[in-house]
Amino acid sequence: MPLVTHTFSKIRDMSLFLRGGIKAGPLPSTQLGGASPAGRRVTGLDGLTLVFVQPAAVTVTFSDASGQGLTFAQVISEIETAIAAVQARFIDNCLQLEEATPSAGVSINLATSTAAGKFGWRADGGAGTATNVPYNPPDGAAPRFIDFSTTPTADGYALIVEV
């Protein structure tokens, strides 16, 4: 099985990756309203979708009848209500999605998700998916975590996995 190296600037991003989560963004500044995280809103989501492939085939359709934008808490609520197996959060203006209990990973169809660009994935939807799977411990079967260390310039982390 091949070994692959991934680099991360923050250990929490590496941890999300190992648990099978995916990260969008950061949100374009034109999509943010409010100065504080509690007041920030994602604008232009009404009627747009995120199409999940894993952990279940579910389409989240956002509803913002007021047109004022959805707060981060409202976005999280709409996602978690539609697909209970997924936990959503915003960290550093980036939407992060992972399974509540990691098993199959998270996958979103970017080609058919009309809200993908609003969250910082390719604005044209791209061709393909944002996908990740949970990694097993070093003594487990592939895909598995092998090793990690700080980068040579000490500005991040290098992670080696077997896929």
- Res 82: pLDDT: 97
Nearest-angstrom CA–CA distance, 101 and 139: 20
Helix residue ranges per DSSP H, 53-144:
72-82
- Res 26: pLDDT: 85
Residues 13 and 32 in one domain: no
pLDDT digits (tens, 9 = 90+) for 115-143: 998 898 865 545 688 889 999 999 999 99
pLDDT digits (tens, 9 = 90+) for 25-60: 887 665 666 666 667 888 899 999 999 999 999 999
Residues 33 and 85 in one domain: yes
Residues 31 and 104 in one domain: yes
Containing domain of residue 160, as a range? 1-19+134-163
Residues 13 and 77 in one domain: no
Q: What does the buried/exposed string (b/e) look like for 58-77 if buried means 16 or more CB atoms within 10 Å of the residue's CB?
A: bebebebeeeebbbbebbbe
Residues 40 and 77 in one domain: yes
**CA 25 from centre of chain:** 8
| DSSP code, position 137 | P
Residues 36 and 112 in one domain: yes
Percent of the chain with pLDDT over 70: 88
Number of domains in the chain: 2
